[in-house]
Amino acid sequence: MSESIIETSKKILKNNLGVKSTENVLILSDEDKSELGKALYKAAKYLTDNPLYIEIPNSSRAGEEPPLIAAKAMELSDVVVCITKNSVTHTKAKENAVLAGARVATMPGITSEMFANGAITADYDEVEKLTDNLIEKLNDTKNVRIVKNGQQFTFSVENRVGIRSVGVYKNSGESGNLPSGEAYIAPVEGSANGTLIVDGSFVGVGKLKEPIKLIIENGRLLDIKGYCSKTILDILGPNLGRNVAEFGIGTNRAARLTGNILEDEKVAGTVHVAFGSNKTFGGETDAGVHLDGIILEPTFYLDDELIMKEGKFI
């Protein structure tokens, strides 16, 4: 177990989560990420008198609920760090923990290399300013339009509330990814239409070797044209997993495209669209799966305002 990872873990718990000595701190890990989970647990023991480590079996997909006993432990904790292979970010367990007042940081798929480089090294004051600016705009927006390679994709976010994920969670009920840096929102169900070009990465596939084309009609993914189409469609399944669930904007200028969605979706100059569940952040769909696709150098509009042109904020 690297001492540098333990030291970084101490900084995360102290600076990003504000852990206090009297708080109940839960480190939730799985078989795949147990080494990093135990490093976080060892760091927690320096900062609180009440640390707990729970290791669960590897899940089969992002968005799958953790075992009930782990979910209950999350609700009873003041601070929860979920360091797992697949994301528990968009699960009822995380939502219930937040509603109970826990501060929750999720670190799906993080690697030891990511503890030292990239998004985690960001200027989080800058991340917060850019994210808050975008959230203010999203909350005033009715319709979003993404343009890429001559294709258009549109959807409504009217009356939906944007979610800020800035990597600092020090108040009761705050939550998000670590490392972080994104502004995201749940599109109105049934409103999305058009063709979406995804050319960065996709959950379940990793970095894409060539762009893929997603055909969407009335808020539902109908088909994917490209080499990895079967892999993605098999994970999403034929029903609720096809729902257009999320639109997100990366706001972390230190983040890199690595093939790991935890960092990829935070890259400034990219946007991402996810399919499946969104009930935990303002949508209506509970699909038991949530897969994101990253779009590099997009152009997009919030109503008629050009926000980004070919990956550059305007």
For the chain, how many residues are written? 314
How far apart CA 305 and CA 2 sit, in angstroms, is 48
SS3 199: coil
- Identify the pLDDT of residue 219: 98
CA distances from 73 to 37, 156, 168 (A): 16, 37, 22
> For the chain, how long is the longest CA-to-CA vector?
57
Question: How far is it, in rounded angstroms, from Cα 84 to Cα 58?
Answer: 8
Structure tokens at 50: 């009440």
**Closest to 29 (Cα-Cα) out of 21, 39, 19, 15:** 39
Domain ranges of the chain: 3-116, 121-313
The Cα-based distances of 240 to 2, 274, 286 in angstroms read 42, 12, 7
Strands 151-156 and 305-309: unpaired
- CA atoms within 13 Å, Cβ hemisphere of 208: 25
Nearest-angstrom CA–CA distance, 24 and 103: 11
Are the CB atoms for 272 and 263 separated by under 8 Å? no
Q: What is the pLDDT of residue 1?
A: 58
Q: Mind listing the pLDDT tens digit of every residue in the chain (314 residues)?
A: 578 899 999 999 998 999 999 999 999 999 999 999 999 999 999 999 999 999 999 999 989 999 999 999 999 999 999 999 999 998 999 999 999 999 999 999 999 999 888 998 888 889 999 999 999 999 999 999 999 999 999 999 999 999 999 999 999 999 999 999 999 999 999 999 999 999 999 999 999 999 999 999 999 999 999 999 999 999 999 999 999 999 999 999 999 999 999 999 999 999 999 999 999 999 999 999 999 999 999 999 999 999 999 999 99
The single-letter DSSP state of residue 16 is I
Residue 116 has what pLDDT? 83
Q: What Å distances lie between residue 235 and 56, 58, 110, 222, CA to CA?
A: 21, 16, 21, 14
Write down the pLDDT at residue 25.
98
Within 157-219, strands assigned E span 163-165, 175-177, 182-185, 193-198, 201-202, 206-207, 212-217
pLDDT (0 to 100) of residue 124 = 87
The DSSP symbol for 252 reads B
Q: What is the pLDDT of residue 115?
A: 86
Q: What is the CATH code for 3-116?
A: 3.40.1830.10
Report pLDDT for 234: 97
Q: What is the CA radius of gyration of the chain?
A: 18
